[in-house]
């Protein structure tokens, strides 16, 4: 990976602030379009993707009122096979993509009613899912608890390993000529009412025609960004556990298994290498990333009700990450009201799923200035402050 200043201090075409999977895919795709691209991050490839389970759950994580987001999620899910094939070819690294499908199950009457509701919404949205009895669920996944009351089989919701995805993107960026500055951006530079680069923590000053703020939940905190364009993202904590399925226990689970237990989401994502990811809490606790006894207890308790055999498995890792959440749970993509400043943040629960489409959309807007059709609803301008009524109108009204 390159790490030097551009020759002759020529400005970059694009500076991406943030080296999580969203920043990396943006930089990679921009560089592939021939843009001279730099990326600033002290540890590219880390961030929320280092914690996330990597479910590509467009259908099983559908919520009422999120039909517009569904269209973007599905567009990205469709791109995944080609995206990982290209990334694996370019980087020479495996991403752990697994077309394994998902089974969402119910443990009691309330869960069952919730799943029935989800099934109705899925059908109304034209999505494929099949209602199964408890017995049919256990036939598919024999490790499920005998008390499972029914479930939804969704063969199109797959998984990828976000850590491997991030590592492959770091390599792909290097191979595409992205210049990586291993330092945090401290301040956005604004020159004549236009974003013009950034000052980094190592003292370097990068100059760029366009700046993409893709710093996950930190995106709302960058100094120098005018308050009216600062992205309204907040951190939502997720605690995630990793267990290991010894070879003698395999096959333990053959697909992602998930449920809503006592109102809390729990999911188990089995990797081909024996890792079993168990997630996740959803906590509004600001910047706190402590792994708590309560969080671990609740995840294990709920997962144990679902798949009792998990208590036999070695617990190998406990982590907490921060999802970048916007006021409508959807991402912010594209130009802001400050010329030269674009956003790629706020992906909340869908950051991994939305990686391919985000890369394509951001490369389009960086090269043409226009957000492509499917991404237009996600313009950051939807959160622009409403201007006060003009004085003249008030005078007319009182006349
Ligand atoms: N999409 C899974 C999660 O955010 O926990």
Q: Are strands 130-133 and 150-154 parallel, antiparallel or unpaired?
A: antiparallel
Residue 232 binned pLDDT confidence (cut-offs 50, 70, 90): very high
Question: Which residue in this structure is represented by tokens 């700046």?
Answer: 211
> Cβ(236) to ligand 1 under 6 A?
no
Q: Which residue has the tokens 């595409």?
A: 176
pLDDT band at residue 387 using 50, 70 and 90 as cut-offs:
low
Whether residue 3 lies inside any domain: the answer is no
Estimate to the nearest angstrom the gap between the alpha carbon of 242 and the chain centroid: 19
* Residue at 73 is within a domain: no
74, pLDDT greater than 50 = yes
Based on the fold, state whether residues 280 and 137 are members of the same structural domain.
yes
Distance 104 CA to ligand 1 centre (A): 14
Assess whether 179 and 307 both reside in one domain: no
**Do 186 and 308 belong together in one domain?**
no
Residue 176 lies in a domain: yes
- Does ligand 1 have an atom closer than 6 angstroms to the CB of 238? yes
Whether residue 153 sits in one domain with residue 240: yes
Cα 238 off chain centre by: 12
Establish whether residue 277 lines the binding site of ligand 1, counting it when its CB lies within 6 angstroms of any ligand atom.
Answer: no
Say how many Å lie between the CA of residue 306 and the centre of ligand 1: 18
Rounded distance, CA 296 to CA 282, Å?
12
Asked if the model's pLDDT at residue 328 lies above 90, the reply is yes
Q: Number of structural domains, the chain?
A: 2
pLDDT at position 338 over 50? yes
Exposure string of 192-203, with b = 16+ CB inside 10 Å and e = fewer, is: eeebbbbbbeee
Distance CA 47, CA 360 (A): 21
Measure the CA–CA gap between 62 and 59, rounded to whole angstroms.
Answer: 5
- Domain end residue (candidates: 306, 325, 344): 325
What CA–CA distance (Å, rounded) separates 307 from 151?
14
Q: Where are the beta strands (DSSP E) in 45-157?
A: 55-56, 102-106, 130-133, 150-154
Residue 212, CA atoms < 13 Å, CB-side half-sphere = 39
Note if the pTM is more than 0.85: yes
Whole-angstrom distance, CA of residue 210 vs CA of residue 238? 32
The answer as to whether 94 is a domain residue is no
Measured torsion, CA atoms of residues 269, 271, 276, 278, in degrees rounded to the nearest 10:
-30
Q: Does pLDDT of 251 surpass 90? A: no
Q: Do 45 and 124 share a domain, yes or no?
A: no
pLDDT value of position 260: 86
Cβ–ligand 1 contact at 258 (below 6 Å): no
Grade residue 302 by pLDDT with cuts at 50, 70 and 90: very high
The CB of 260 under 6 Å from ligand 1? The reply is no
Quick one: 320 and 366 in the same domain?
Answer: no
Same domain, 151 and 113: yes
Which residues span the domain enclosing 129?
100-157+235-325
Q: Atom 2 in ligand 1: which residue has the minimum CA distance?
A: 349
Last residue of a domain, one of 325, 349, 375: 325
Nearest CA to ligand 1 atom 3: 349
CA-closest residue to ligand 1 atom 5: 280
User: Which pLDDT tens digit goes with each residue over 190-200?
Assistant: 999 999 999 99
Mutate to test the pocket of ligand 1, among 278, 279, 298, 348 (most ligand atoms within 8 A of CB): 279
- The CATH number for 225's domain is 3.50.50.60
List of residues 6+ apart from 353 with CB closer than 8 A? 55, 56, 57, 58, 73, 76, 77
Closest CA to 342 of 8, 30, 3: 30
Alpha carbon dihedral 37, 38, 44, 49, in 10-degree steps, equals -50
Higher pLDDT pick, 152 / 397: 152
Closest residue to atom 1 of ligand 1, CA basis: 349
- The DSSP bridge partners found for residue 207 are 197
- Whether residue 228 is found in the same domain as residue 265: no
Helix (H) / strand (E) element for 134: namely helix 134-140
Q: Give the confidence band of 390 by pLDDT, cuts at 50, 70, 90.
A: low
Q: Does ligand 1 come within 6 angstroms of the Cβ of 348?
A: no
In degrees rounded to 5, what are phi and psi of residue 309? Answer: -65, -10
Question: How many angstroms separate the CA atoms of 185 and 40, rounded?
Answer: 6
85-118 residue pLDDT tens? 999 999 999 999 999 999 999 999 999 999 999 9
C-alpha 167 to ligand 1 mean position (Å): 20
pLDDT band for 9, please (50, 70, 90 cuts): low
87 found inside a domain: no
> What is the full DSSP assignment across 254-304?
SSEEEEEETTEEEEEEE-TTSEEEEE---B--TT-----HHHHHHHHHHHH
Pocket test for ligand 1, best of 21, 47, 54, 61 (most atoms within 8 A of CB): 61
CB of 55 closer than 6 angstroms to any ligand 1 atom? yes
360 pLDDT above the threshold of 60: yes
Q: What is the mean pLDDT of residues 371-383?
A: 95
| Predicted pLDDT at 6 | 42
Do 241 and 298 lie in one domain? The reply is yes
Average pLDDT, the chain: 94
Beta bridge partners of 150: 106, 133
CATH number where 300 lies: 3.30.9.10
Angle value at C-alpha 292, between 288 and 294, nearest 5 degrees: 130
Handedness of CA 210, 321, 203, 27 (dihedral sign): negative
What confidence tier does 172 reach under pLDDT thresholds 50, 70, 90? very high
- Whether 60 is covered by a domain: the verdict is no
Is the pLDDT at 347 greater than 70? The verdict is: yes
Report the percentage of the chain scoring pLDDT > 90.
90
Residues 204 and 187 in one domain: yes
Do 298 and 184 have their domain in common? no
Measured from the Cα of 353, ligand 1's closest atom is 1
Rounded Cα distance, 178 and 199, in Å: 18
390 lies in a domain?
A: no
- pLDDT single digits (tens) 125-170: 999 999 999 999 999 999 999 999 999 999 999 999 999 999 999 9
How far, CA to CA in Å, does 331 sit from each of 167, 182, 235, 336?
23, 25, 13, 13
CB 225 within 8 A of CB 332: no
Residue 58 lies in a domain: no
Same-domain check for residues 175 and 302:
no
């Amino acid at each position: 990976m390159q790490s030097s200043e551009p020759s002759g201090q020529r400005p970059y075409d694009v500076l991406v602030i943030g080296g999580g999977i969203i920043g990396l895919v943006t930089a990679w795709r921009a560089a592939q379009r021939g843009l001279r691209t730099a990326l600033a991050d002290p540890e590219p490839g880390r961030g929320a993707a280092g914690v996330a389970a990597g479910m590509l759950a467009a259908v099983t994580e559908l919520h009422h009122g999120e039909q517009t987001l569904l269209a973007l999620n599905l567009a990205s899910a469709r791109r995944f096979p080609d995206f990982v094939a290209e990334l694996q070819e370019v980087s020479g690294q495996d991403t752990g993509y697994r077309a394994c499908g998902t089974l969402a199950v119910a443990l009691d009457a309330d869960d069952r009613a919730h799943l029935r509701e989800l099934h109705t919404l899925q059908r109304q949205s034209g999505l494929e899912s099949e209602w199964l009895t408890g017995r049919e669920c256990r036939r598919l996944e024999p490790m499920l608890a005998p008390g499972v009351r029914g479930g939804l089989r969704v063969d199109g919701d797959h998984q990828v390993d976000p850590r491997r995805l991030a590592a492959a993107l770091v390599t792909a960026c290097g191979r595409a000529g992205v210049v990586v500055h291993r330092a945090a951006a401290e301040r956005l530079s604004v020159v004549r009412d236009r974003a013009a680069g950034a000052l980094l923590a190592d003292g370097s000053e990068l100059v760029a025609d366009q700046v993409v703020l893709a710093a996950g939940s930190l995106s709302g905190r960058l100094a120098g960004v005018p308050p009216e364009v600062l992205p309204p993202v907040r951190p939502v904590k997720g605690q995630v556990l990793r267990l290991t399925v010894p070879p003698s226990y395999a096959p333990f689970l053959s697909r992602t298994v998930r449920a809503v237990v006592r109102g809390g989401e729990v999911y188990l994502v089995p990797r081909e290498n024996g890792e079993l990811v168990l997630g996740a809490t959803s906590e509004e606790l600001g910047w706190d990333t402590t792994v708590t006894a309560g969080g671990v207890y609740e995840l294990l308790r709920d997962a144990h009700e679902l798949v009792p055999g998990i208590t036999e498995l070695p617990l190998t890792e406990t982590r907490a990450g921060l999802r970048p959440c916007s006021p409508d749970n959807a991402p912010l993509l594209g130009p802001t009201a400050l010329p030269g400043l674009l956003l790629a943040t706020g992906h909340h629960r869908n950051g991994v799923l939305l990686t391919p489409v985000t890369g394509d959309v951001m490369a389009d807007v960086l090269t043409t200035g226009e957000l492509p059709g499917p991404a237009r609803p996600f313009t950051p301008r939807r959160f622009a402050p409403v201007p006060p009524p003009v004085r003249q109108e008030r005078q007319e009204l009182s006349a």
